[in-house]
Chain A
Amino acid sequence: AQSVTQLGSHVSVSEGALVLLRCNYSSSVPPYLFWYVQYPNQGLQLLLKYTTGATLVKGINGFEAEFKKSETSFHLTKPSAHMSDAAEYFCAVSVEGSQGNLIFGKGTKLSVKP
């Protein structure tokens, strides 16, 4: 079975500072990994995903994530936070043959201070 752990339910950074949101996964088979962002009272928007190939994945809005198999991690980063980045971020895992069922982490709320 797959599972996702997001360390830190709430992360606060200053505008312009580095954003680091942590995600660790557990999977007995090669995982597919996703990061989604959710703005208040809205659905989820895909930021980026890792399936195969290059382990550093670039997404929208300047975000990127690196798949590290040895650490079973898929941390999300952005070099410089913007006020508009304030939202809830979810890491998710899927595996081949699962019909694409996503297993989500509990989410990390990102606050950006001026």
Chain B
Amino acid sequence: GAVVSQHPSRVICKSGTSVKIECRSLDFQATTMFWYRQFPKKSLMLMATSNEGSKATYEQGVEKDKFLINHASLTLSTLTVTSAHPEDSSFYICSARNLYQTSSTDTQYFGPGTRLTVL
């Protein structure tokens, strides 16, 4: 149980285009999903916290107009990188917490990640 999927797993796009990444909880409902960015040989950086039915909460320094997050249902959150540039190339990982888990002690379940390359 507790499977989180991401689609696509890998995407290459031209500079200036927009890319949408989907994060789905396959066998549980998630009111809270998190989006992380991982640079090569670096740690994961939390970009934003996505709550179903409300606006995402962005971390300091993350442009909300650049990285659009939508959490329209209890099993789906999307991250859209708008007007992508080469510096946006990175590994994007989402995670989700079960609907019935509201404590900070509860496990986040991570997706397999999406490798974005902007040419």
Binding site for B on A (CB under 8 A): 9, 32, 36, 41-46, 49, 51-52, 90, 94-107
Contacts and interface: CB of A to CB of B under 8 A. Distances in A.
A100 B103 contact: yes
Contacts of B89: none
B43 A46 contact: no
Q: Which of B42, B104, B115 has the most CB of A within 10 A?
A: B104
Interface residues of B, number: 26
Contacts of A43: 4, 6, 93, 95, 110-113
B103 to A, nearest CB: 7
Given A41-B113, A46-B107, A100 B97 contact: yes
A90 B103 CA distance: 21
A32 B113 CA distance: 24
Interface of B: 4, 6, 32, 34, 41-46, 49, 93, 95, 97, 103-113, 115
A9 to B, nearest CB: 8
A36 B34 CA distance: 16
A9 B110 CA distance: 22
Given A41-B115, A90-B44, A104-B43, A97 B104 contact: yes
Contacts, number: 66
A76 to B, nearest CB: 16
Given A105-B43, A106-B43, A51 B105 contact: yes
A95 to B, nearest CB: 6
Nearest to A103: B46
A17 B44 CA distance: 29
Given A43-B4, A43-B93, A101-B49, A49 B107 contact: yes
